[in-house]
Chains A and B, each alone.
Chain A
Amino acid sequence: MELWSLGFDLILTPLALALIFSGVCVGMVFGAIPGMSATMAIALFLPMTFGLDPVMALALLVALFVGGISGGLIPAILINIPGTASSIATTFDGYPMTQRGEAGQALRIGVLFSFLGAVLGCLALFFLAPPLADLALGFGTFEYFSISVFALTLVAGLAGTSLIKGLASAALGLLLAMIGIAPIDGTKRFTLGIPDFDAGLALLPVLLGLFAVSEILKEAENLCREKKTPPAAFAMPRLFAMSWRAFTSQGVNLIRSSAIGIGIGLLPGVGSGTSNLLAYLAAKNSSKTPEAFGTGIADGLVASESSNNAGVGAAMIPLITLGIPGDTVTAMLLGGFLIHGIQPGPLLFQINGELVYAIFVALLVANVMMLLLGYFGIRQFVKLLAVPRQYLLPIVMVMCVIGSFALNNRMFDVYTLIAFGAFGYVMLKFQYPFPPLILGFILGPMIEQNMRSALMTTRGSFLPFFERPVSAFFLTLAIAYVAATLWRTLRRS
C-alpha cells in the first residue's frame, strides 16, 4: 500500500496530469488517423522525454499507448477503416451503425467499453505483475535463457504469415545484436574495423528506423494512391448511449472479451490485432442471435473494443516483470525505459518500486482521461481525420532524427536510423515481419549472456537446461511450437 501511495503522489501532480492528458490526446489522434499508430506516436515523443524525469517520461509514453490503441475506433466506426489493427473487428458492427445514423451512439458505446476493458486489463496487471516478479526473482541463467528463446520463437511464428520468414527475421535480429563487443570475454565481432560499431547498435535508432522511417517510406508510396473518404456526419446521442438493461446485458461479453484480450496481451507477439478478432468470434459463437452480428449491434462493438484495450495492461506484464516486450509498442516503451537508465525486470519492483506503481497509476489515470476525452471530445477527434498525413509524416521524421542524435550526440546513430528505415522498407516489400527482428535484437544479449553463463557452470553441457523444471517447460514449449508449425507448413506445401 505504501508503494501505491507513492505512485499516486508521483502521478497526481499538475505536470504529470498535463503530460498524461497530452499523451492520451496525441495518442488518440495517431490512433484515429489510418496509417499512423501508437508506435509512431511513441516514436515521435521519445526524444521529448530525454529532458523529463523518468516517472514523467514513462507516464507520457504509457498515456500515448492508451490513446493510440483507443483512437483506432473512431475511423473504424465512421469511415469503415480501422485506425489500427486492434480495431479491425470494430468496423464489423460499428460502420453499419454509422450507416443507420447511429455513429455517435456507436462511438460512445465503443469508448465506454474500451474503458471498462482497459480497467480489467489494469486489474490483471496490478494483481499478476507483483507475484510474477517475485516468482521471476528465483529465476537463474537457465530460466532466463529458456524464457527468452520461447518468447522469440512465439513472436517469430505469430508475427507474420510465414514461420520460416519470422524465424529468419529473428535470426537477423540476433545477429545484429552480436555486432560489437561480446559478453563475458569482450571479443569484438562483426565490427568491420569501424570504431563506432564497437559499442554495438543502439536500440532506439534501430526501433525508430524499422517502425517509423520505413512507415514513412511506405506512406510515401500510399499517399499518391489513396482516395479520400470524407468522415461521416453524425448527431451526438444522449450521455449514456445505452439503457441500464442493455448495459448490464453486456456483462458476460465484456468479461469474456477482456479475458481474451488479457490472455492474448500476455503472450509475446500476438497483440491486440488478433485479440479483437478472436473476441468478436467468441461473442458471435456464444450469441443466441449470431446472424445479427455484422448488422450493427452493440455486442460486436463491445467484444472488439473491450478486448483490445484489456490487452494494454496485460502487455505491460511481461515487459515490467521480465523485461521482455510482447509487441512493437511495448518494444518502444522498453526503449523509453532504457534511455532513462531503467532496466525492466523482476528487480525493478525492489530497486524502483515507486516507479512501477507510478506507471500503474499513470495507466489508470490515462484510461480515465481516455474515457472523458472520448466521451466529451469525440466531435473534435472526428475533425482530426481530415488532418493531412503529408504534413505529419515529415515532422515525425525530423523527430526521429532528433531522438537518434540526442541519444549519444553523434551522427552515427542517425545513419543507423536511416539504414534501418531503408532495410525495414525492403523487409515490408519482401514480407518479412519486424517484431521477430526487434525481439531478437533485444533478447540477443540476454540469450547469449545467460546461455554462456549457464554453460560455464555446467562446463559446456546443455543437459541441465532440461533438468530444471521452468527451463525445461519453456524450452519444450518452444521446440514443440516450432516443430508443430513447421510440420503444418510442410504438409500444406
Chain B
Amino acid sequence: MRAAFRDIASGLFLLLLAIVLYLTARAIPARFPIGVDSGFLPEVVTTALGGLAAIIIYQGVRRSGKDRPEEDTNAPVSSRVGFTLALILGYCAGLSLVGFLPATLVFLTLQIYLLSPNAERSWKMAGAISVITTISVYALFTFAFGLVLPSTGIW
C-alpha cells in the first residue's frame, strides 16, 4: 500500500465520520442553562477531527506521485488474516449458539491449524492442544474462580 493512498483514504474516512458526527452532535438538545451543554465537546472534537482529516488528506495528496509502492502484501497473507477474523466472528456466534465448550474446542483447533506454518500443520496436534486447553480453561474459570461463561443451557 502506498503511503499517499493510505493517508488519502484514511483522511477521507475520518472527514466523512467527522461530518456525520458533527451533525449528530448539533442535534443533541441543549438542556443545561449554565456553562456548556452535552453537545459542546462533541462539536469541538468533531470539528478538530475534521480539520485533522483535511491535513492528512493534504499530506497524502502532496506525497502522491513521489512515494514508491511499499512491500506488497501477498494474497495468502490477506486470506490468513481474513480467515482468522472470520474464525473469531464464528467463535462469537458459536458461543451464543452452542456454548463455551464446543465453540472453544472448534475455534482453537481451527485457529491453531490455520496459524501453523504449512510444514508444521497437524490436525492431531491442534486437536490435542485444543482439548487440553478448553477443559483446563473451563475448569479453572468455572470451578476455581466461579465465573459464568457463555452457555446455552446444554453446555
Instruction: Enumerate chain A interface residues (CB-CB to B < 8 A).
Output: 47-48, 50-52, 164-165, 167-168, 171-172, 174-175, 178, 182, 184-185, 187, 189-190, 213, 216-217, 219-221, 223-225, 388-391, 393-395, 397-399, 401-402, 405-406, 409, 411, 414-415, 418, 421-422, 425, 429-432, 447-448, 451-452, 455-456, 458-460, 493
Contacts and interface: CB of A to CB of B under 8 A. Distances in A.
Contact of A418 (B59, B77, B89): B89
A422 B32 CA distance: 38
B107 A47 contact: no
A48 B29 CA distance: 43
Contacts of B9: 430
A168 B35 contact: no
Given A168-B56, A220-B115, A225-B77, A388 B120 contact: yes
Nearest to B113: A390
A304 B53 CA distance: 37
Nearest to B121: A390
A70 B8 CA distance: 40
Nearest to B63: A493
A340 to B, nearest CB: 14
Contacts of A225: 77
A402 B145 CA distance: 12
Q: Top 3 closest A-B pairs, CB basis?
A: A51-B145, A455-B35, A182-B38
B30 to A, nearest CB: 9
Q: Which of B59, B76, B115 has the most CB of A within 10 A?
A: B115
Interface residues of B, number: 68
Interface in B47-89: 48-49, 52-53, 55-56, 59, 62, 73, 76-77, 80-81, 83-85, 88-89
Contacts of B150: 405, 411, 414
B84 A493 contact: no
Contacts, number: 178
Contact of A395 (B14, B45, B133, B146): B133
A216 B48 contact: no
A409 B85 CA distance: 23
Contacts of B56: 164-165, 168
B41 interface: yes
B141 interface: yes
B80 A172 contact: no
A217 B85 contact: yes
15 contacts: A47-B147, A174-B41, A175-B45, A187-B38, A189-B28, A216-B84, A224-B80, A391-B112, A401-B95, A406-B141, A411-B150, A414-B150, A418-B88, A455-B35, A460-B34
Given A190-B24, A401-B92, A431 B6 contact: yes
A interface, by DSSP: helix, strand, loop or mixed?
Answer: helix
Nearest to B6: A430
A51 B144 contact: yes
Contacts of A184: 32, 38
Contact of A460 (B36, B92, B115, B147): B36
A220 B84 contact: yes
Nearest to B147: A406
Contact of A398 (B32, B108, B146): B108
B34 A459 contact: yes
A168 B149 contact: no
B10 to A, nearest CB: 4
B28 A394 contact: no
B58 to A, nearest CB: 9
A47 B141 contact: yes
A224 B81 CA distance: 11
Contacts of A431: 6
Given A190-B21, A221-B80, A411-B150, A422 B85 contact: yes
Nearest to A223: B115
Interface string B102-126: 0010011001101111101000000
Contacts of A220: 80-81, 83-84, 114-115
Contacts of B95: 401, 405, 411, 414
A402 B137 contact: yes
A409 B148 CA distance: 7
